């Protein structure tokens, strides 16, 4: 089995590649080759029993997309995108990367006769826009209020249509905000959700730009990898025609995040959060979804974290070696 990860240099791409290398197979099939592609050079996972190819390029270049699928990988994970804040700031770049890149990939797959790979597309809860019910159900309409959300919603429609026509076997997964993200802060508007946990745990101060009563939908990097693996192996006939699924997660307020941090790491760590209200961020956050009932995904076997405390403990174990700064 050949696997291609587009966005293999990103946080989730690296973790997915590491899991595949550790398992040596996807589902019941042995992996024969893994290709990691990104705009920056990705790193190969250690101790892999199969060859790993590393490629760099820009998916918005149509020739790159053609070259990537020329070897006909059995499973394609499409994780590449510029994040919400950057897509909002740079309108043209957002559409070039998030929409044109996706379209080039799907077109390249369709151009190969009798080639029908499983394509796993990472979408986002940003496809939903306010006003919201108390919990967004699987039947709630997609009316995004950001350019990033719009680009992801268009990608979902393309994936569904190409799958309906038998050109590929696509599954789209709407990821919750992934928290706690390791590494340095990125340009995602939602980055503060991770910052207020990651930085204090590492012994640094974090800035909180919103009020404690802001609620949001979260899942850990561990869960994100689990979602991707399950999406790659699930029987498409069971999923049916509605190929885009909202992933399960945990709905917590910022205040509940902080209390979970206090439970795991103590008062001294929680006190490293400094409240600096930011009107621009608060306005943006007011239009974000807060809570979901992901019944379809749960019924299809997708599993998320049991609590936000569990999310924090996973970060401490996976990224900090069990040590708190």
How confident is the model over 296-319, as pLDDT tens digits?
Answer: 999 999 999 999 999 999 999 999
In this predicted structure, the answer to whether residue 188 has a pLDDT above a threshold of 80 is no
Confidence of residue 283 (pLDDT cuts 50, 70, 90): confident
In this predicted structure, the answer to whether residue 186 has a pLDDT above a threshold of 80 is no
**CB distance 136 to 246 below 8 Å:** yes
Confidence of residue 249 (pLDDT cuts 50, 70, 90): very high
* pLDDT value of residue 317: 96
All structural domains of the chain with their residue ranges: 2-175+221-246
Q: How far is the C-alpha of 118 from the C-alpha of 283, rounded, in Å?
A: 38
In this predicted structure, the answer to whether residue 46 has a pLDDT above a threshold of 90 is no
For 196-242, where are the E strands, in sequence order?
A: 206-208, 215-219
Q: Which of 189, 204, 227 is nearest to 77 (CA)?
A: 227
In this predicted structure, the answer to whether residue 47 has a pLDDT above a threshold of 90 is no
* pLDDT value of residue 71: 94
Catalytic site residue 148? yes
* pLDDT value of residue 286: 85
In this predicted structure, the answer to whether residue 172 has a pLDDT above a threshold of 80 is yes
**CB distance 130 to 149 below 8 Å:** no
Tell me, what DSSP letter sits at residue 180? S
Triad 51, 54, 55: Cα angle to 5°: 140
Q: Which of 1-15, 110-124, 182-196 has the lowest mean pLDDT?
A: 182-196
- Compute φ and ψ for 54, nearest 5 degrees: -115, 125
Q: Which fold has domain 2-175+221-246?
A: Rossmann fold (3.40.50)
- Of the candidates 128, 148, 193, 302, the residue annotated as catalytic is 148
Instruction: Name the one residue in this structure whose structure tokens are 């609590």.
Output: 307
248-to-138, 172, 173, 223, 290 alpha-carbon distances in Å: 11, 14, 10, 9, 12
**CB distance 230 to 301 below 8 Å:** yes
């Amino acid at each position: 089995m050949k696997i291609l990860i587009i966005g293999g240099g990103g946080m989730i791409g690296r973790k997915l590649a590491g899991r595949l290398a550790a398992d040596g197979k996807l589902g019941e099939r042995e992996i024969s080759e893994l290709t990691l592609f990104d705009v920056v050079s990705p790193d190969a996972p250690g101790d892999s029993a199969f060859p790993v190819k590393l490629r760099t390029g820009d998916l918005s270049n149509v020739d790159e997309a053609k070259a990537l699928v020329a070897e006909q990988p059995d499973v394609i994970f499409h994780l590449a995108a510029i994040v919400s804040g950057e897509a909002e700031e740079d309108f043209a770049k957002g559409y070039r990367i998030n929409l044109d890149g996706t379209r080039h990939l799907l077109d390249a797959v369709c151009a190969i006769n009798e080639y029908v790979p499983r394509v796993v597309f990472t979408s986002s809860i940003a496809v939903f826009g306010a006003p919201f019910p108390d919990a967004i159900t699987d039947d709630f309409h997609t009316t995004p209020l950001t350019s990033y959300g719009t680009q992801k919603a268009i990608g979902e429609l393309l994936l569904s249509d190409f799958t309906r026509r038998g050109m590929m076997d696509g599954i789209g997964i709407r990821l919750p905000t992934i928290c706690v993200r390791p590494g340095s802060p990125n340009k995602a508007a939602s980055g503060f959700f991770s910052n207020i946990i990651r930085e204090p745990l590492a012994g640094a101060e974090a800035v909180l730009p919103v009020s404690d009563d802001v609620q949001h939908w979260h899942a850990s990097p561990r869960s994100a990898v689990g979602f991707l693996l399950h999406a790659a192996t699930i029987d498409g006939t069971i999923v049916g025609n509605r190929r885009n699924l909202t992933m399960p997660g945990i709905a917590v307020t910022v205040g509940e995040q902080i209390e979970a941090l206090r439970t795991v790491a103590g008062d001294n760590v929680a006190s490293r959060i400094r409240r600096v209200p930011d009107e621009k961020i608060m306005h943006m956050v007011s239009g974000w979804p807060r809570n979901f009932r992901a019944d379809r995904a749960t019924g299809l076997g997708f599993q998320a974290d049991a609590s936000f405390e569990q999310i924090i403990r996973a970060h401490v174990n996976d990224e900090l070696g069990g040590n708190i700064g």
